[in-house]
Amino acid sequence: MPEVRKDPITGGWVIISTDRSRRPTDFYRGSTTKTGGYCPFCNGNEDKTPHEILAYRENGSQTPDSEGWLLRVVPNKFPALQIEGEMGRVGEGLYDKMNGIGAHEIIIETPHHDRTIPTMTDTEVESMFWAYRDRLIDLKRDKRFRYILIFKNHGEAAGASVEHSHSQLIALPIVPSKVREEVEGAKRYYGLKERCIYCDIIRQELDDNVRVITENPDFVAVAPYAPRFPFETWILPKHHESSYEESLRLEYKNLARITKDILSRLDKALENPPYNMIVHTSPIAEVHNDYYHWHIEIMPTLTKVAGFEWGTGFYINPTPPEEAAKFLREIVE
């Protein structure tokens, strides 16, 4: 009998097929092997992107937009939202609209075209997380923005149009509804129990030890109780922290380690699947709070969202998280 489970944070429902559950080998595998060829993100092609906003370089060259960088952040050449302009709500009556103000940046995580997070060095992955932090700190000073979303699409099926490993950042003049749902759910729980729901989930998962995939001193990676997608994985800081950029220096090292570890396990279990990775952090107006707990969600692109999901907001997931966690736990380096 399938199980219908409720996400304790958002209240969203998922249908978990427990009878004919699908193992890693049952999934269609879209290839994410790198093909090479011309690439605007490669070292030496700095003039093919807009001027860099931030770059990490070794002691050598300090000239912006020159070769020899370790990581670069550039504006998206085809931004979803525009950085120049005034905020303004121009809607009247029933239909609301506002100016498309926002920042859309690309974080080029490595100069090496063929590297992915599992094949990058620990330092490269750590730098990626530092760049997220640097950009968050800078952009949240801009009073026009209410939320900053950082995400990564890996592989064409997951929406990556350039194969060179990169993340994206979008600063928004509103708090997106998915984040609102989580924050509201967490606030509701806090109102009842005066505890952070994520902290409670972490405690319970570590006690049960059924859906935990791996952990280190600062982070734990779990298959959530009501995952929308097969092999969906959450990475959570063990100590309560409402905002990503507030983490301590050492934590980014452990964040890099656990993220690399999880993505390596997924690569092995599912043969280099396309995936989306998102960072969920508190809205800018609520940077410090006791109810919301920042985290990373990783969703391999293995199933398609179709009519039932669009029509109901229910997700059908053919792999119980307990089995997904077991597969991933048992993968050895």
Residue 94: CB minimum distance to Zn ion, A: 31
175 touches Zn ion by CB under 5 A: no
196 touches Zn ion by CB under 5 A: yes
Among 280, 281, 289, 299, which residue sits at the site for Zn ion (rule: CB under 5 A)? 280
Q: Are 242 and 292 in contact (CB under 8 A)?
A: yes
User: Other C-beta atoms within 10 Å of 81: how many?
Assistant: 16
Helix axes 249-270, 122-139, angle to 10 degrees: 120
Among 15, 42, 175, 331, which residue sits at the site for Zn ion (rule: CB under 5 A)? 42
Report strand pairing: 147-154 vs 166-172.
antiparallel
210 touches Zn ion by CB under 5 A: no
Name the strands in the sheet holding 147-154, side by side, starting at the edge strand that comes first in the sequence. Answer: 54-57, 69-75, 103-108, 166-172, 147-154, 275-280, 295-300, 233-237, 219-222, 212-215
Residue 196: CB minimum distance to Zn ion, A: 3
Q: How far apart are CA 223 and CA 128, in angstroms?
A: 24
Tell me, yes or no, if 51 is annotated catalytic: no
Out of 104, 154, 164, 166, the active site residue is 166
Site size for Zn ion, by CB under 5 A?
11
Per-residue x/- track, 113-132, Zn ion (CB under 5 A): x-------------------
Residue 256: CB minimum distance to Zn ion, A: 20
39 touches Zn ion by CB under 5 A: yes
Q: Which is nearer to Zn ion, 294 or 327 (CB)?
A: 294
**The pair of three-digit structure tokens given for residue 297, joined into one six-digit string:** 């969600």
Q: Which is nearer to Zn ion, 187 or 326 (CB)?
A: 187
From 287, 252, 238, select the one nearest 136 (Cα to Cα).
287
Q: What is the amino acid identity at position 320? A: P
195 touches Zn ion by CB under 5 A: no
Residue 332: CB minimum distance to Zn ion, A: 29
164 touches Zn ion by CB under 5 A: yes
Q: What angle do CA 155, 160, 165 make, to 5 degrees?
A: 75
Residues identified as active-site:
166
Q: Which residues bind Zn ion (CB under 5 A)?
A: 39, 41-42, 113, 164, 196, 198-199, 240, 280, 293
